[in-house]
């Protein structure tokens, strides 16, 4: 993304009205908030952004971002994200996955 295409957003532009449902003390809260704070700094556009996730607690992430999202099955987030990017190369595609999805059950 070049400087001419950057837009101005705030953290609120990236938050949804969905209740965040992770266990108290879960590190996913910090990751979510960090991404929601980082996307405006990158000049990203929520209407041009897709978050793709697999299975597990961390994979609820797309529901909490005011973007496009796709909740896939175990270990398939990279394949689905690749398909999304191939179908529309202009989209910013991000993968969110946990250790079980990426390295254990889904990764096998």
User: What is the tens place of the pLDDT at every residue in 31-49?
Assistant: 999 999 999 999 999 999 9
107 pLDDT higher than 70: no
Residue 52 pLDDT > 80: yes
Mean pLDDT (the chain) is 90
pTM of the model: 0.87
Confidence of residue 6 (pLDDT cuts 50, 70, 90): low
pLDDT confidence of residue 99: 80
d(CA 82, CA 65): 20
């Amino acid at each position: 993304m070049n400087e001419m295409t950057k837009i101005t957003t705030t953290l609120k532009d990236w938050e949804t009205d969905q209740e965040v449902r992770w266990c108290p003390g879960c590190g996913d809260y910090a990751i979510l908030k960090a991404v929601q704070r980082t996307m405006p700094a990158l000049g990203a556009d929520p209407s041009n952004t897709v978050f793709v996730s697999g299975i597990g607690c961390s994979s609820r992430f797309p529901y909490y971002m005011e973007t496009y999202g796709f909740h896939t099955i175990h270990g398939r987030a990279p394949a689905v994200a690749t398909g999304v990017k191939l179908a529309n190369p202009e989209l910013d595609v991000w993968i969110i996955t946990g250790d079980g999805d990426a390295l254990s059950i889904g990764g096998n």
